Amino acid sequence: MLVKICGIMTEEAGVAACDLGADLLGFVFAESKREISPEKAAEIRRQLPESAKTVGVFVNETQENIIRIAETAHLDYVQLHGEESADFCRDLPYPVIKAFSIKKESDLDQLMDYDCDYYLLDSPGVQFAGGSGIPFDWNLLKEKHLPNEQLILAGGLNAENVQKAIEKVRPAIVDVSSGVEKEGHKDLAKIAEFIQKAKYRGVKDK
């Protein structure tokens, strides 16, 4: 099971997350309390092991700005959380993760309109685009034939529920942000516990 820690803002958090076993780190380049500059993300990226993959999170940004930021920050993936079309995603010169907010079963139908590297299933946002810190109903996925090997599960995950989430959804990647924070900052003990539960005590990779 691969683990993505999103909302990285400091070198300490980024390096520690990789040392603890995180596979992907997310940088937010959109309005958010976790927003980071491309230059700061690039500084953090230089401190990470080559094996670490970095993801830039964007919301309704122009292709020109996405490409510029991705080049500056040395991103491996572009994650889109807005109203981006399938053509918009297809035209980007980077591997794309398209995020979808899931409220009801029919929200899953739009996935098949997109040809992306990964599909991220998230809870609807509250103040900002992206998760609310509350899980959506994973049972909505039960009757859908989804490409599990391309699914990233996000939204309200933490060390207490990640095992159950993996067992129910069987995604390729689990994605966490607020679930490994304390008082609004990444907490290394919470990151360690989450990764341990997801990787070594949850469902094993196929």
pLDDT of residue 126: 47
Strands (E), 59-95: 77-80
**Catalytic site residues?**
6, 122
pLDDT of residue 201: 59
Nearest of 105, 131, 134 to residue 28 by alpha carbon: 131
pLDDT of residue 200: 84
Superfamily of domain 2-200: Aldolase class I (3.20.20.70)
pLDDT of residue 203: 45
Strands (E), 11-138: 24-28, 53-58, 77-80, 96-101, 118-122
pLDDT of residue 144: 87
- Six-digit token string for 82: 């807005």
Which residues of the chain fall short of a pLDDT of 70?
125-133, 201-206
